[in-house]
Each structure stands twice: as C-alpha cells, then as structure tokens.
Amino acid sequence: MKKFIENLVYPRRCVFCSGFLDKNSNEDVCSECAEKLPWTKKKCKSKGEFFSECLSPLYYDGKAGEALRRFKFMRKTSYARCMGKLIADCVRENGKGDYDVIAWVPISARRMRKRGYCQAKLLAKEVSKALDIKCSRLLRKRRHTPPQSTLSGLAARKANISGAFSAVNKSGIAGSSVLLIDDVITTGATLSECTRMLLMAGARNVSCATLCKSVKK
Ligand SMILES: [Zn+2]
C-alpha cells in the first residue's frame, strides 16, 4: 500500500532520461536506457597502481555522465539507490567476491559543507544493502584539494592527492578484503592513493568499483 501511494504521488522515473518507469516493474532504468546507455563491456576492469581491480558498469559519457553530474552537483541524492544497485550488479557479476567490508572515497570537510553530502558514501551505502556486506567509514580526507577534473595527466593528479587521505578505524581494516567505492574513475590516482592508505593500515586486499569510467580521449 505504501508503495502504491508513493507511486501515485511520486511516479518513478528513470534517473538517466527522466522517463516514467512501468509502475509494475522493479527495474530502475527504463527499457530505452537499458539498451542505449554507454555500458562498459562485461568484465571491464581498470587496473591501478595498488588496487587489484576496478569495476564500472558505465562509461562517463552521454546520459550516464549527465546523470552522474546531476547526482554529484545538483543534489539529486535520490539517484543513489539506482546507481548503487548498478554498481552492485556489476560487482556481483564480474568481481572476485570475498569482500569483508565496503568503504568509500571521502570528500573534504570544506566540500562537505558546500555540497551537503558525500556522493561516494551514498553509493557505498546502497552497494552495501544490495550485496549484504557491511559498510564502514575507513578513510578520512585530511586536507582540501582542487578537483582532480581540473588537472590533466596522471603525474599532476597523483601529486595533488598524495597524502590527502588517512585511514581511520584501523581495527576494522586489519586483515580485511575491502571493496572501495567512488563515483568515477579517470586515471585511478585517487583510488590508488586511498588503496595505499588502506594497505598500509593492514588491509589484506583492496578492490574498487565506481559507477562510471572515463572515456579515453
Ligand atoms: Zn531512461
């Protein structure tokens, strides 16, 4: 009944094109987007300096990129459920499995004050629910850094982010296989730096997953 009324007041819409979704379906993506979004090929894994793999269901392009920007910059936090489920599906199908804990790439206190929410944390909470694996805060951003998107090249991005994160809750990290969540992977510099901190704090292994993967230019 609650779901029926919710649907009456707020008809469900596809987060990628805003088209109405079939009220009887459990799908979160409309049939057209299911077909036409820039899905990555199965087992599309990015490699990083420290993490063992990074899985991403979509390329950061077209309607996927637009939706991710609305989620991140225009307060469309309700997208987290659909986007988190897409990440979880990709991890379930292509990941190595055996994760003990889910964590996320945190934002700085300054960005938190400005944005009001941490997009990667919202995604991690949904991935946690979908995969039934606990979610814990394992990292902290120690200092504010200019957005990686304003810098080009791996060297500049690595320098920008070096030492920007630290591990918290070390007892929750030691010996664990961590699944680390972020919204997008470009060069992998941020995920590598976070992975480095988790490994130094005693993580057994770190795998990553993001909603989008940047298209190579
Ligand atoms: Zn759609």
Domain ranges of the chain: 1-36, 42-214
Instruction: Give the distance (Å) from ligand 1 centre to CA of residue 207.
Output: 29
pLDDT of residue 6: 65
Instruction: Give the distance (Å) from ligand 1 centre to CA of residue 164.
Output: 37
Instruction: Give the distance (Å) from ligand 1 centre to CA of residue 2.
Output: 24
Instruction: Give the distance (Å) from ligand 1 centre to CA of residue 22.
Output: 11
pLDDT of residue 41: 81
How many other β-carbons are positioned within 10 Å of the β-carbon of residue 6?
Answer: 11
Q: How far is CA 157 from CA 4, 22, 53, 57, in A?
A: 47, 43, 19, 24
Q: Which CATH architecture has domain 42-214?
A: 3-Layer(aba) Sandwich (3.40)
Instruction: Give the distance (Å) from ligand 1 centre to CA of residue 163.
Output: 40
Instruction: Give the distance (Å) from ligand 1 centre to CA of residue 70.
Output: 14
Q: Is the dihedral of CA 113, 115, 121, 125 positive or negative?
A: positive
Residues 6+ apart with CB under 8 A from 79: 15, 67, 70, 71
d(CA 100, CA 198): 13
Instruction: Give the distance (Å) from ligand 1 centre to CA of residue 37.
Output: 8
Residues 6+ apart with CB under 8 A from 127: 84, 87, 88, 91, 102, 133, 135, 179, 181, 209
Write out the chain's pLDDT in tens, 217 residues.
666 666 666 778 999 999 988 877 778 899 999 999 999 986 667 877 889 899 999 999 999 999 999 999 999 999 999 999 999 999 999 999 999 999 999 999 999 999 999 999 999 999 999 999 999 999 999 999 998 889 988 899 999 999 999 999 889 999 999 999 999 999 999 999 999 999 999 999 999 999 999 986 4
Instruction: Give the distance (Å) from ligand 1 centre to CA of residue 35.
Output: 9
pLDDT of residue 153: 86
pLDDT of residue 164: 96
pLDDT of residue 95: 93
